[in-house]
Amino acid sequence: MTTVEQHIEGFKILGQYLREIEAGSSEYTPLFDCIQKAYDCNGWFTQENCLKALRAWGEVLRAEALQKWTSQYNFGATAPKNIGLILAGNIPLVGFHDVLCVLLCGQNATIKLSTSDPLLIPFLYQKLKEISPLFENRLHFTQDRLENFDAVIATGSNNAARYFEHYFAKVPHIIRKNRNGIAVLSGEESKEELAGLAQDIVQYYGLGCRSISKVYLPEGYDLNNIFGALYPHADLMDSAKYRNNYDYNKAVYLMSEFDLLDNGFMLLREHDSFGSPVACLHYSYYKDLPSLEKELVEKSEEIQCVSSHLALPKSVPLGKAQQPALWEYADGVDPITFLLEL
């Protein structure tokens, strides 16, 4: 068995562990303890959201998907490099894909974890070490400034990215900035597709870079269709953090005399911006698809994915925005090729 095959086998076993998560099982007590600590650290990381992220990783770490992902690359034996990783923490395990890429390519990493997600990735790394000694001493976690790295993959806000571009200018790097998920509706969506759109909007409280924060609608579209699809998620208001954001943003909008629609837990505002605050959804109307496609191409650097049943660049089926395949890379930049070419 080659080293790459051993890595894949380890990932498969981890995937099975994540698919079989069972509350109350002694095998999973340490995981649930970690989830509780993650929530204590970050109130957005509810048990529901952490389990959703963990199980999603369980689904993609299957033999067929891993084989399809890795078969397109030529993994040669090279001296391992040390990769600096600066990970985001907006949703649980959002940086885990970069970790898998580093391990798969036979590299080592020094990882600066987000203060918003400092526990889940180290836990999964410990599981990998228990699965195979191949993973021992491959990852090192730090809260200090990164040092002694051969290349960097860093994710942050647009302001942080400008700093990263300057600080890491002399080494090979991938720098990721803010992007948003958007949706494009034709007006012919089924109830099931609209329910999928609602899931894309509310999952992880809308905090993901693939979360839908803006919807493009054909002229004359009845917004009650969206409100109806969102209604089953009214329990978002059970979260104090979400409710506080909803109350604050509603107050700001009303004091600013902005036109908005309100269903009691989500604010809809007609606005050009892709990015919208928590508990808010922006929307715009379009006249024709060719003009809209041109606009989206011009703004492609701001877009992570497009949730739609229409054939558009970066489009994914409605309801699948938060379920990228292993080979659907953030910002469209392939980290495996980057790491193999070092």
Residue 288 lies in a domain: yes
Pair 279, 250 in one domain: yes
Pair 115, 189 in one domain: no
Residue 132 lies in a domain: yes
Pair 112, 224 in one domain: no
Pair 61, 187 in one domain: no
Residue 56 lies in a domain: yes
Residue 321 lies in a domain: no
Counting residues of the chain whose pLDDT is more than 70, the rounded percentage is 100
Residue 337 lies in a domain: no
Pair 165, 184 in one domain: no
Antiparallel, parallel or unpaired: β 315-316 and 151-155? unpaired
Q: Evaluate if residue 77 carries a pLDDT over 80.
A: no
Looking at 143, 158, 178, which one is the last position of a domain? Answer: 178
Which CATH number is 267's domain given? 3.40.309.10
pLDDT the model gives residue 78: 80
Measure the N-to-C terminal CA separation of the chain; round to a whole number of Å. 24
Residue 339 lies in a domain: no
Read off the pTM: 0.95
Looking at 178, 207, 224, which one is the last position of a domain? Answer: 178
Banded pLDDT at 2 (limits 50, 70, 90): confident
Q: What is the 3-state secondary structure (H, E, C) of the chain?
A: CCHHHHHHHHHHHHHHHHHCCCCCCHHHHHHHHHHHHHHHHCCCCCHHHHHHHHHHHHHHCCHHHHHHHHCCCCCCCCCCCEEEEECCCCCCCCCHHHHHHHHHCCCEEEEECCCCCCCHHHHHHHHHHHHCHHHCCCEEEECCCCCCCCEEEEECCHHHHHHHHHHCCCCCEEEECCCEEEEECCCCCCHHHHHHHHHHHHHHHHCCCCCEEEEEEECCCCCHHHHHHHHHHHHHHHCHHHHHHHHHHHHHHHHCCCCCEECCCCEEEECCCCCCCCCEEEEEEECCHHHHHHHHHHCHHHEEEEECCCCCCCEECCCCCCCCCCCCCHHHCCHHHHHHCC
- pLDDT by residue (tens digit) across 273-284? 999 999 999 999
Which CATH number is 120's domain given? 3.40.605.10
Residues 323-337, mean pLDDT to the nearest whole number: 96
Pair 137, 266 in one domain: no
Looking at 123, 146, 178, which one is the last position of a domain? Answer: 178
Pair 200, 212 in one domain: yes
Task: Give the separation between CA 68 and CA 326, rounded to whole angstroms.
Answer: 9
pLDDT the model gives residue 191: 96
Structure tokens at 55: 């199980």
pLDDT the model gives residue 76: 81
Task: Give the separation between CA 139 and CA 22, rounded to whole angstroms.
Answer: 28
Q: Evaluate if residue 222 carries a pLDDT over 90.
A: yes
pLDDT the model gives residue 295: 95
- pLDDT by residue (tens digit) across 175-216? 999 999 999 999 999 999 999 999 999 999 999 999 999 999
- pLDDT by residue (tens digit) across 81-103? 999 999 999 999 999 999 999 99
Residue 108: give the domain boundaries: 3-178
Residues 131-159, mean pLDDT to the nearest whole number: 95
Residue 336 lies in a domain: no
Pair 270, 157 in one domain: no
Output the average pLDDT for the chain.
Answer: 96
Q: How many domains is the chain partitioned into structurally?
A: 2
Pair 172, 33 in one domain: yes
Q: Evaluate if residue 113 carries a pLDDT over 90.
A: yes
Residues 239-255, mean pLDDT to the nearest whole number: 97
Residues 130-136, mean pLDDT to the nearest whole number: 96
Pair 211, 113 in one domain: no
Residue 71 lies in a domain: yes
Q: Which long-range contacts (CB under 8 A, 24 or more apart) does 283-286 make?
A: 283/214, 283/215, 283/216, 283/217, 283/223, 283/226, 284/214, 284/215, 284/216, 284/217, 285/216, 285/217, 285/218, 285/219, 285/221, 286/184, 286/216, 286/217, 286/218, 286/219
Residues 48-59, mean pLDDT to the nearest whole number: 98
- Among candidates 231, 214, 319, which has minimal Cα distance to 276? 214
pLDDT the model gives residue 1: 74
Pair 247, 257 in one domain: yes
Pair 76, 143 in one domain: yes
